[in-house]
Structure 1
Amino acid sequence: MIAIRDLSYTYPHGQSPALRHVDWAINDGEFVLLAGRSGSGKSTLLRCLNGLVPHFTGGVLGGTVVVDGIDVVSAGPRRLSRLVGFVAQDPEAQAVLDQVEREVAFALENAAIPPDDMRARVEEALALVELTPLRDRALSTLSGGERQRLTIAAALALRPRVLVLDEPTSQLDPQSAADVLRALVRLNKELGLTIVLAEHRLERVLRYADRLTYLEAGQIVVDGTVRQALAQLDDAGIDVAPPLVKVARALGWQPLPLTVTEGQAFAAQVAAAPPRPPSPQPAAVVPVLEIEGLRFAYHGRPALNGVELTIGAGEAVALVGRNGAGKSTLLKCIVGLLAAQAGEVRVAGRSTRGRSVADLCRAIGYLPQNPDDLLFAETVADELRTTLRNHRLPESAGEIAALLRELGLDGFHDVYPRDLSVGQRQRVALGAVTVTRPRLLLLDEPTRGLDGATKAALVAIWRRWLAGGAAILLVTHDVELAATIATRTVVLSEGKVIATGATSAVLGGSSPFAPQIARLFPGRDWLTPEDVVDNVAANVAANVALTRGQARHNGNDMENNDAPIDQNLYAPG
């Protein structure tokens, strides 16, 4: 279905090729997962499959790309649009019309699909991504996840033979992501649709893929079945394995499980460590954010309904919930972009009522879902300088360089921000809102488009900021991130707080937002691979101590009987 030979590509004014001598073949009906670090060339490679590269982007392309016997460069995007359905990283950039049903029908109208067939296809596409109840909604009222599902529906409506998706679950809650992926698997298995999907959250997709292709610096470095590719990546020292696979490797499980169901038989044999003594009650902290009875409605439709929340200095709180639950709305009310109809918000003890957004942003760093909303300067470094100028703060080239280095953007100082990948733009925007070192950080899907290594680096940065007294309210669908960084988790549903507490309790094995490890070991308060390995090690240590204690007891008895002791009998293991 897809044959790529010696493909190289350089963007206009690019200093180096984005793709280098790529050879790649995908069979009809395959489901291929494309992985790689942010900026490795994944999006560029996907855009070569429908002709957006080079017809839309310009630049210099060498080699050949053939899809279903059609030379992509010769045919161009118009001809390829009926054959290759494309879902970009940024769903906002793909929308044309202002209403859900019309948006799905737009491509069908342009393709001159007969009206009866068009209606059937629209119904089918909306149902596949569970948007039928929202068919009459304006796009401006949709959440980021709902916009993402709409983009997928619009691509599916044309019934392409190849579906190319660039991080299609990045803004979806776990349940919506699973529903969309299961729909794609149905199309793949039942209709033979060829699927090429780029994703950083491998734990969501590995179980469905036939192959895993890993891209690094514009070159394919690993390509094979999922288990083969994971083994090759591990041998190469490239750590992209999801939590389940990390635990399986650490404990020597074979064959390597790819799903929680496959891992449960192994997990049942893992003994829990002895109960740990209860942790001391944390000392009272000074509240940085206080929310009381907050209410907000869009055109009479309630979005927040009496929200109560307090966050103290040094505390990271994850806010989770289904798409459209009101999470982003809550952040916008806190920072003053939306005016709450009732309730009170205080930051550092001071009410936000009547204060301007500019004033609030002296104490609040707000990172929206779409990083492009914050990017308008000519260079990456200028984005950070602009923030400092707006707040009349001194500009320190050394501090700007240090923050960019922390964010993994060293060497991008003079690059135009919108030329960067989505993950890189996300980090530039994060730098722009945190260069003033605000007391409170509001982060809306901050790891969207980020690879595991970059995400881990950000977590390390956030922990340093927390240790310095900052507070973080983190909206995320990445439950593995919440398990790693959040001390508390709040679940929002239809504008109401329905659960709040310690992350280990709220994200337990029965929660729809449970991370892989919590589902693998329900009831044990384990959330991360480190929790499992540490507790297993503690259990082994306890058993060794018990054995040694018994050895000493037996040794005393033997000594009393003047019998020799075999010291090796009690050696660990």
Structure 2
Amino acid sequence: MLELESVAASYYDDERTLAAPQISDVNLTLFEGEILLVVGRTGSGKSTLLNAMSGAMPHATGGRLDGRVRVVGRDTRDFPPRMLSDVVGVVGQDPAASFITNTVEEELAYSMEQLGLPPAVMRKRVEETLDLLGIAELRYVPLAELSGGEQQRVAIGAVLTTRPALIILDEPTSALDPNGAEDVLATVTKLAHDLAMTVVLAEHRIERVLQYVDRVAHVGADGHVTVGTPEEIMADSDVAPPIVELGRWAGWAPLPLSIRDARAHSADMRKRLYQRGLVVNKLHNHAVQPLLIAEDIMVDFPEIRAVDGVNLNLNSGEITVLMGRNGCGKSSLLWALQGSGTRNQGSVQVLDEAAGFSWTDPKTLKPAKRRNLVSMVPQTPTDILYESTVHAELARSDKDAAAPAGTTREILDSLVPNIPDHLHPRDLSEGQKLSLALSIQLAAKPRVVFFDEPTRGLDYDGKKSLARSFQQLADDGHAILVVTHDVEFSALCADRVLFMASGKIISDGTAVEILPASPAYAPQVAKITAGIQEESHWLTVSAVKAALGHGEIS
């Protein structure tokens, strides 16, 4: 179905000089019905590998491709993407960028129209796809009104309707809640197993997808690609989910890749954990100071109340995570609190220390002043990237934040090191764009900071570094509110977790209280260490190590 022979891919720099290969010496054969997972550090070349597989490299991306790529026997040198559209379906990192039409139903039908399928076939497949992805209620909704997760489902659905022989998915679950991600992956797996569709997906949230795949391709920092079974690659991969990290530390063999297998190994570990007692909860030793107070917040859109009477305080030194299913109103609440979004009712007051510790509604402030009080990193990072090079963005950030030269670059390198200064921000991977936007906002150090899905495109080390940055901000007295579907990141950084449903906050408590209590949102380590009919109090590998002692292996 897909063949890569001695493939190498390189790009030209601004001097039109061919840079070192992004990927090199790739040899791979995929058969019908196989599912391949592509993993690697942020910026390692995963998207380049996917572009080579789809034929976009070099026809649409530029650069140079050496070796041979064949899709169902068609050499991509002779068949550009438009001549492979009947056999290859691609869902990129930014789903909205692929939308052509106005509504969900029209988008699902569009690709089939281009292939000239009969109307009866199109109608049947649209209905099947709406049901498969659980988006039937969105049929007539304008695409512009969808949440990020809903957009991702529609983009996947628009590809599935054409029944391609090969489907390529770049970060397919990055904007989906845990239940939604599981549904989408189960659907993709069903299509692979029942309809012999070959699937290639790149994903940073490896814990979500590892159990579904047949093989893994690891893209190393040097561009070398290693292909093997999940067990072979995860044994020493530089990116690994918590279950693998815990299994390596504990010396479990064979290395477990599922919660069920890990629990079979972990009986002695669980016994010793509960004997040792709890060493998990972060406790604040300073008085709680509210920095933002919101009362009775309502946000209405045509035919829907997105936020319904929310009351919320954000406190100095506290990292709060807001979770909930796609479309429940999380982003609408975030923008309403920040001041530039719709707010039909209610009040928001932020403590303004520069104005004599008075309380100010951010909605009344000009953008520059608002940023000093309440900073926002949106789901689409390019919304706040304006310059033509990374260097210019970093320099502008230092100037706007009145920070010493190099401050923003230092933050960026802590998240994703070695992003070249000369690159245009829009040429970066989604993870690199997000890291750049995060760095710019963190450089200003506002007292209240909002993040909407900040881990999209970040590998595990990047997430740990981001969690450390959040903790440093909290230690310095900032209040942080994070909207995310990333359960493992929430376990790393959250002091407090809020759950939202149908526009309302339905639960509010510490991370240790809230996360393990939910079958869908419990982190992997919590599932592995839970007792019989007893919820776990250990959310991360580091918490287990702290409880048992870093040198002890169970």
2:433 counterpart of 1:425: yes
2:350 counterpart of 1:347: yes
Give the TM-score normalised by the residue count of structure 2. Answer: 0.92
Partner of 2:304: 301
Tell me the distance in 1 between the aligned counterparts of 2:20 and 2:106: 41
Q: Deviations over 1:477-502 (max 9, x none)?
A: 11100011010000011110011100
Amino acid of the structure 1 residue aligned with 2:487:
V
Partner of 2:259: 260
2:40 counterpart of 1:74: no
5 Å-filtered alignment, 1:186-197, equals 186-197=190-201
SS in 2 for 1:303: strand
| Higher deviation after alignment, 461-470 or 77-86 | 461-470
5 Å-filtered alignment, 1:40-79, equals 40-79=44-83
2:158 counterpart of 1:148: no
Which 5+ residue runs of structure 1 have no aligned equivalent? Answer: 542-572
Amino acid of the structure 2 residue aligned with 1:524:
S
Deviation at 1:324, TM superposition (A): 0.5
CA contact 1:316–1:472 (8 Å) conserved in 2: yes
Amino acid of the structure 2 residue aligned with 1:289:
L
Tell me the distance in 1 between the aligned counterparts of 2:301 and 2:434: 27
Amino acid of the structure 1 residue aligned with 2:103:
Q
Tell me the distance in 2 between the aligned counterparts of 1:540 and 1:54: 50
Deviation at 1:218, TM superposition (A): 6.0
Tell me the distance in 2 between the aligned counterparts of 1:251 and 1:232: 14
Partner of 1:251: 250
Deviation at 1:464, TM superposition (A): 1.7
| Higher deviation after alignment, 514-523 or 208-217 | 514-523
Partner of 1:273: 275
2:180 counterpart of 1:180: no
2:178 counterpart of 1:170: no
Tell me the distance in 2 between the aligned counterparts of 1:23 and 1:267: 37
Tell me the distance in 1 between the aligned counterparts of 2:182 and 2:161: 20
Question: Structure 1 residues 217, 529: CA separation in 2 closer, same or farther (over 3 Å shift)?
Answer: closer
Deviation at 1:436, TM superposition (A): 1.5
Deviation at 1:540, TM superposition (A): 8.2
SS in 2 for 1:219: coil
2:524 counterpart of 1:512: no
Partner of 2:355: none
CA contact 2:91–2:168 (8 Å) conserved in 1: yes
Tell me the distance in 1 between the aligned counterparts of 2:455 and 2:552: 36
Partner of 1:364: 374
Question: Structure 1 residues 119, 250: CA separation in 2 closer, same or farther (over 3 Å shift)?
Answer: same
Would you say how many aligned residue pairs link Structure 1 and Structure 2? Answer: 535
Q: Which runs of 4+ in 1 moved over 6 A?
A: 277-281, 538-541
SS in 2 for 1:73: coil
Amino acid of the structure 1 residue aligned with 2:510:
A
CA contact 2:339–2:361 (8 Å) conserved in 1: no
Question: Structure 1 residues 539, 455: CA separation in 2 closer, same or farther (over 3 Å shift)?
Answer: closer
Tell me the distance in 1 between the aligned counterparts of 2:262 and 2:89: 35
Deviation at 1:276, TM superposition (A): 4.6
Q: Deviations over 1:275-321 (max 9, x none)?
A: 35999785422112221111101124100011121121111011111
Deviation at 1:249, TM superposition (A): 2.5
Match of 1:18 among 18, 22, 25: 22
| Higher deviation after alignment, 366-375 or 276-285 | 276-285
Partner of 1:313: 316
Partner of 2:423: 415
Question: Structure 1 residues 532, 3: CA separation in 2 closer, same or farther (over 3 Å shift)?
Answer: same
Partner of 1:231: 235
Question: Structure 1 residues 395, 539: CA separation in 2 closer, same or farther (over 3 Å shift)?
Answer: closer
| Higher deviation after alignment, 75-84 or 503-512 | 503-512
Question: Structure 1 residues 521, 409: CA separation in 2 closer, same or farther (over 3 Å shift)?
Answer: closer
Deviation at 1:246, TM superposition (A): 2.0
Partner of 1:322: 325
Amino acid of the structure 1 residue aligned with 2:477:
G
Partner of 2:508: 500
Name the larger-Rg structure: 1
Partner of 1:381: 391
Deviation at 1:395, TM superposition (A): 6.1
2:527 counterpart of 1:525: no
Give the TM-score normalised by the residue count of structure 1. Answer: 0.89
Tell me the distance in 1 between the aligned counterparts of 2:152 and 2:206: 18
Question: Structure 1 residues 526, 376: CA separation in 2 closer, same or farther (over 3 Å shift)?
Answer: same
2:444 counterpart of 1:440: no
